[in-house]
Structure 1
Amino acid sequence: MKRTLQSLMLGCCLALMQGCVAKSNSFTFTADLPPNFSYVASVYYVPAKGQTCTVARADNLAPQFNREWRTEYKPNAQIEIRRTRNGCELVVDRVELEINAIYGPDWSDFGREYARVSVRAELPEAVKGTFNAAGESEFSGQCQWLFRTIGPNRYITKILDCKKTDASGALLKNRPFAAYTLDQLPGKTVRLKIKLADEEKPGWGDTWVKVPGGWKRCMGKSFEDQRAYCNGNYKDFSRFRMPDGRTCTIYPGCTENKEVTP
């Protein structure tokens, strides 16, 4: 009888202790990215539902994570869900994400794309993200390099193009995106998972010709012709400069090959 009473008392104490545990006021954002990729996260807050107050922008600046992404990158960001400024209760509204990817040695040799996490008080079930038993939710995307040339020496430069993917891995039209409700997020982890496409593509059509081993750049009218469309001429090609300084005729392998397929 004594042991039973002690067990009941212990159970009651545990229940009381658990009831007093404060609910987390943050969630973790993280990203699984390809090599030489990183992200910058900017977090924006708005007055909570029912609040009639406003806060000047100067007093409600968006916290940033990985602002120095080249030198101090960390994949995990701990994001506050609710905060108070000038007596006004604010809640997280969205996390704007810059996806940065380096492709060459110079400071300017990088591409940038964007993704977003939106947060609302309520969302339709069809839109709302879901979490697994471990408290993790994942949204995915695929990025692809689009290459082109610039300047009279035709230096290679690249554009980063990222699209959301569905559960089967199929590409969608929009950029990577996820949405959650405020009550879903405390103590949870939201993960962005990005895959890099196996092959690069020209920035736009009729400027490069596919050949075994890569692509050849159409000459156009001359080296001064910046657009240099092929316009049916699949015999005259130009050299170009790689980001590492090499002069090449086939991208990306820089190997000679005379076979051309229009």
Structure 2
Amino acid sequence: MTQALRITCLGCCLAITAGCADKQPDTFTFTADLPPGFGYQAIAVYVPNKGQTCTVPGGRDTELGYNLQWPKDYLPNAEIPLYRTVSGCPLVVSRIKLVLSSIYGPHWLDSSRDTANVVIRDELEEQYKGTFSEAGETVFHGQCQWLFRTSGKPRVLRKILDCKKTNPQGVVGTGRPFSAYTLDQLPGKTVRMRIKLADEERPYMKDTWVKFPKGWKRCMGDNFEDQYAFCFGNHKDFSGFQMPDGRQCTIYPGCTE
């Protein structure tokens, strides 16, 4: 091989290597730090890319789901494509619909869930746009709290998950956990949702339980047929209730005084 040919081939190799090095990844990672016993499900939603006039018939296959069988086969990391082509139509990710779930009793029906959201746009005002560390990671925060109530004539205790966004210091705001990014921020990056569990539970409805030093007691109301059973100032007449595991209790969360 001549010297000129060797130089030419070397130039081609360097050009190919540089081209590969400059190519951006076409995915990003979504992950979550959650309280014990919690999991998330995610659905990445895709829309026609900017400038495209095509549509996908019936909107079929324009969403990708992750951890949809929770708690089976749960994976904390989800590798999400930025772009897809469906029915010949170039698509781009526009949001991630998130569901936070947890089980509070012995049966899978003893569970509750709430939502969170990630929005992705071509452009965003700086005040709404998430920021990334030098390591390529961004974090948004939230807090979930258990709300308890009773249901049915035997007054079985049920729990509802209520999740709100917070700032990094843990100050609770209004609305569900949320973050937003521009499309050009995301290639090869990691978006982390960090959720904490509130230290205390509280009644789902006001004026239905009374707090004592050892826990909460359920107001009787008119009788066991009274599903709302508001206290209306009566802090002497209380009813028992049934825990999800079948125990008969008089106070929550300790069951007995």
Q: Taking structure 1 as the reference length, what is the TM-score of the superposition?
A: 0.90
**What does 1:185-200 correspond to in 2, within 5 Å?**
185-200=186-201
Aligned to 2:7: none
Return the alpha-carbon distance in structure 2 between the equivalents of residues 18 and 43 of structure 1: 32
Deviations 1:1-43 (A, max 9, x none): xxxxxxxxx9997686233233111000000001111011011
Distance 2:82 2:235 in 1: 57
Q: Which residue of 1 aligns with 2:19?
A: 19
1:187 maps to a residue whose letter is G
SS at match of 2:228: coil
SS of 2:184's equivalent in the other structure is helix
Superposition deviation, residue 89 in structure 1? 1.2
The alpha carbon displacement at 1:213 in A equals 1.5
Q: Tell me how far apart the structure 1 counterparts of residues 11 and 123 of structure 2 sit (CA, whole Å).
A: 36
CA RMSD of aligned residues (A): 1.8
1:235 counterpart residue number: 236
Alignment of 1:203-218 (within 5 A): 203-218=204-219
For 1:69 and 1:137, the matched residues in 2 are separated by 25
Shift of 1:158: 0.6
Which residue number in structure 2 is paired with residue 51 of structure 1?
Answer: 52
Q: Which runs of 5+ in 1 are unaligned?
A: 1-9, 257-262
> Offset at 1:175?
0.2
Q: CA deviation at 1:59?
A: 3.4
Q: What residue number does 1:68 align with?
A: 69
Within 5 Å, give how 1:94-133 maps onto structure 2: 94-133=95-134
1:106 alignment partner, SS class: coil
Deviation at 1:219, TM superposition (A): 0.5
Q: Give the 3-state SS of the residue equivalent to 1:57 in structure 2.
A: helix
State percent identity of aligned pairs.
61
C-alpha distance in structure 2 between counterparts of 1:15 and 1:28, whole Å:
29
Any unmatched runs of 5+ in structure 2?
1-9
- Does the aligned pair in 1 maintain the 2:163–2:176 contact within 8 Å? yes
Q: After TM superposition, give the deviation of residue 86 of structure 1 in Å.
A: 2.3
TM-score by length of 2: 0.92
Aligned to 1:180: 181
